[in-house]
Amino acid sequence: MPAALKFDNRFVRELPGDPLNTNERRQVLGAAWSAVRPTPVAKPTLLAHAREVAALVGFGPEDHDSSRFAEVFGGNALLTGMQPYAAAYGGHQFGHWAGQLGDGRAISLGEVINARGERWELQLKGAGPTPYSRSADGRAVLRSSIREFLCSEAMHHLGVPTTRALSVVTTGEPVLRDMFYDGRAELEPGAVVCRVAPSFIRFGNFELATARGDEALLRQLADFTIARDFPQLDAKDPARYAQWFLEVCTRTATMIVHWMRVGFVHGVMNTDNMSVLGLTIDYGPYGFLDDFNPHWTPNTTDATGKRYRYSQQPAVAQWNLERFADALQPLFPDLEPLKAGIGAYVERFNAEYRAMLAAKFGFPTLDAERERLAQQGLGLLMEAEGDHTRFFRALTEWNGAVSHDDATAVAALGDVFYDEAKREAAAPALADWLRRWQASRTAADVDVAATQAAMEGANPRFILRNYLAQQAIDRATAGDASMVHELLDTLRRPYEAQPGREAFTAKRPEWARHKAGCSMLSCSS
Enumerate the active-site residues.
272
The enclosing H or E element of 430 equals helix 420-441
The number of beta carbons lying within 10 Å of the beta carbon of residue 75 is 24
In one-letter notation, the amino acid at residue 194 is C
Looking from the CA of 64 toward its CB, the CA atoms found within 13 Å total 18
Dihedral, CA atoms, 46, 83, 126, 42, nearest 10 degrees? 60
What single string gives the DSSP state of each residue in 290-329? Answer: SB--TT---BGGGTTT-TT-GGGHHHHHHHHHHHHHHHHG
In one-letter notation, the amino acid at residue 328 is L
The number of beta carbons lying within 10 Å of the beta carbon of residue 501 is 16
| Angle subtended at Cα 151 by Cα 354 and Cα 196, rounded to the nearest 5 degrees | 105
Distances in Å between the Cα of 450 and the Cα atoms of 396, 416, 447, 496, 500 are 12, 26, 5, 18, 29
Whole-angstrom distance, CA of residue 242 vs CA of residue 256:
21
For the stretch 189-210, what's the b/e string if a residue is b when 16 or more beta carbons lie within 10 angstroms of its beta carbon?
bbbbbbbbbbbbbbbbbbbbbb
Return the closest-CA partner of residue 32 out of 245, 208, 281: 208
The torsion region of residue 385 among left (phi > 0), alpha (psi -120 to 50) and beta comes to left
Say if residue 321 is exposed, middle or buried (CB neighbours under 10 Å; 0-12, 13-18, 19+).
Answer: buried
What single string gives the DSSP state of each residue in 324-367? Answer: HHHHHGGG-SSSHHHHHHHHHHHHHHHHHHHHHHHHHHT-SS--
Q: CB-based contacts of 276: which residues, under 8 Å, 6+ apart?
A: 199, 201, 202, 203, 225, 229, 248
**Cβ–Cβ < 8 Å for 268, 282:** yes
Return the closest-CA partner of residue 146 out of 485, 478, 462: 485
Return the closest-CA partner of residue 287 out of 519, 476, 486, 523: 519
Distances in Å between the Cα of 414 and the Cα atoms of 130, 411, 425 are 51, 6, 17
In one-letter notation, the amino acid at residue 318 is Q
Say if residue 322 is exposed, middle or buried (CB neighbours under 10 Å; 0-12, 13-18, 19+).
Answer: middle
Task: Please count the residues of the chain.
Answer: 525
Return the closest-CA partner of residue 158 out of 458, 502, 505, 468: 458
| Angle subtended at Cα 507 by Cα 503 and Cα 513, rounded to the nearest 5 degrees | 125
Report DSSP state, residue 477.
H
